[in-house]
Amino acid sequence: MRLDKYLKVSRIIKRRTVAKEACEKGLVQINDKVAKSSSEVKVGDILSLTFGEKTVKYRITDIKEHVLKNEAKELYESVQ
């Protein structure tokens, strides 16, 4: 699945266009490498997102095309 679509489906970022812009600005990394919005993600990848001065990391645990809002958090887990 494309990175920008995954960020939207998992509700880490609310809109796909915002996810795409974050990728273009270099704010999103996959396994410590700057990622484009078209990059493919797979289970086990570590996503790093920079929001202002804060960086958050998530491990992808599942990939689905469609999920309900309350099931979105099952697609990833926080990493310290």
Phi, psi dihedrals of residue 53, rounded to the nearest 5°? -95, 0
pLDDT of residue 40: 96
Ranges of each domain in the chain: 3-78
pLDDT of residue 45: 96
Residues in the chain: 80
On average, the pLDDT of the chain sits at 94
d(CA 42, CA 55) in angstroms, rounded, equals 21
Specify whether the CB–CB gap between 24 and 18 falls below 8 A. Answer: no
Residue 80 clears pLDDT 90, i.e. is over it: no
pLDDT confidence of 75, banded at 50, 70, 90? Answer: very high
CATH class of the domain whose range is 3-78: alpha beta
Which pLDDT tens digit goes with each residue over 19-45?
999 999 999 999 999 999 999 999 999
